[in-house]
């Protein structure tokens, strides 16, 4: 179809940010970091390659995800430790902060709660920025590798996709069956993964992650959290993300408890104050 005479003018219209974030209350990074500096390590979980593990983080504590042996990306799920119906909402997080997260940005929970679950307080890959291909690190645009899409596209039945790994980890942590746990697994924060959209077709792409041993993300837990992290079967995702041949490495999750008084009068954020009774 031929473009209309004013096609160029239509394309030239300037965009408008859907959700300007200047109305968001900024996290108190100075307070969080000061509490982290004096915090004591209380535990750790080593996530094996092509597998996942769950972990718990009390509100006001810090958890750190680290690359420890080689380039490796991970898929992170978060739930309210006391109510699995409150879970990370990647779509709204993306709408508020953008396609990739870094220091000072937050992981938000879904409706009707819509409150910060965790705040990134340190990112050793924040230097990467946005590269010439439009790629960046720690995305909230990909869903998670899963066996259903593999079966749809190529007829494969692969059992160590991040979706499957997260399902098993949640079942192990809660005592649920796999069938009960699976509906709670949700779209992820792709930790360390380098991704973007192609300029010509708008397709989701991945490229070799810049992560190296010692790189890490640190999060301040805003509420009591149950987390699960999968060490993706694609390794650094330089070529594929559901594979038994890609070089894969473990990821380390460490938990840190602030010392008494380090957070002053800080309290966990309340659930969203929208009055639902008038909107129904």
Q: What is the DSSP string of 51-75?
A: -EEEEEE-TT-EEEEEE-SS---EE
Question: Per the domain annotation, does 94 fall within a domain?
Answer: yes
pLDDT at 279: 66
Is 136 domain-assigned?
A: yes
Q: Which domain holds residue 90?
A: 38-259
pLDDT at 242: 78
Domain count, the chain: 1
Task: Provide the 10 A C-beta neighbour count for residue 26.
Answer: 10
Residue 124 lies inside a defined structural domain of this protein: yes
- The tokens for 118 are 């965790």
The pLDDT score that the predictor gives to residue 42 is: 98
Predicted local distance difference test score (pLDDT) of residue 241 = 79
Which residues does 61 contact at the CB level (< 8 Å), separation at least 6?
A: 39, 42, 220, 221, 255, 256, 257, 258
Task: Enumerate residue ranges in the chain where pLDDT < 50.
Answer: none
Residue at 11 is within a domain: no
Domain-embedded: residue 61: yes
Would 82 be classed as within a structural domain? yes
- CB 71: neighbour CB atoms within 10 A? 20
Question: Has residue 33 been placed in a domain?
Answer: no
- For residue 276, the SS3 value is helix
The closest alpha carbon to 119, from 236, 210, 24, 230, belongs to: 24
Listed in sequence order, the DSSP H helices in 117-234 are 147-154, 162-174, 178-181
Predicted pLDDT of residue 280:
63
183 found inside a domain = yes
Distance, in Å, from the CA atom of 44 to the CA atom of 141, rounded to the nearest integer, reads 28
pLDDT, one tens digit per residue, over 152-179 is 999 989 899 999 999 999 999 999 999 9
Q: Do the beta carbons of residue 109 and residue 270 sit within 8 Å?
A: no
């Amino acid at each position: 179809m031929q473009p209309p005479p004013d096609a160029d003018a239509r394309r030239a219209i300037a965009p408008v940010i859907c959700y300007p974030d200047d109305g968001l209350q900024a996290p108190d990074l100075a307070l969080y970091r000061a509490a982290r500096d004096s915090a004591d390590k209380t535990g750790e979980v080593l996530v094996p390659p092509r597998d996942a593990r769950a972990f718990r983080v009390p509100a006001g504590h810090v958890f750190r995800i680290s690359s420890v042996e080689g380039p490796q990306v991970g898929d992170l799920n978060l739930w309210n430790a006391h109510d699995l119906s409150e879970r990370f909402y990647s779509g709204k997080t993306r709408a508020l902060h953008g396609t990739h997260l870094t220091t000072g940005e937050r992981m938000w929970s879904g409706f009707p709660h819509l409150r910060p679950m965790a705040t990134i307080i340190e990112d050793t890959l924040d230097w990467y920025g946005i590269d010439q291909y439009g790629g960046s690190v720690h995305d909230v645009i990909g869903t998670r590798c899963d066996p259903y899409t593999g079966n749809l596209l190529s007829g494969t039945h692969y059992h160590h996709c991040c979706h499957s790994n997260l399902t098993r980890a949640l079942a192990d942590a809660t005592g649920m069956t796999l069938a009960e746990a699976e509906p709670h697994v949700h779209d992820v924060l792709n930790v360390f993964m380098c991704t973007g959209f192609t300029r010509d077709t708008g397709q989701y792409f991945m490229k070799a992650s810049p992560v190296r041993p010692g790189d890490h993300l640190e999060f301040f837990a805003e509420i009591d959290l149950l987390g699960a992290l999968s060490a993706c079967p694609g390794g650094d995702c330089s070529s594929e993300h559901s594979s038994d041949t890609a070089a894969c490495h473990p990821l380390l999750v460490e938990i840190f408890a602030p010392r008494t008084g380090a957070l002053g009068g800080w309290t966990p954020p309340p659930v969203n104050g929208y009055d639902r009774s008038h909107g129904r």
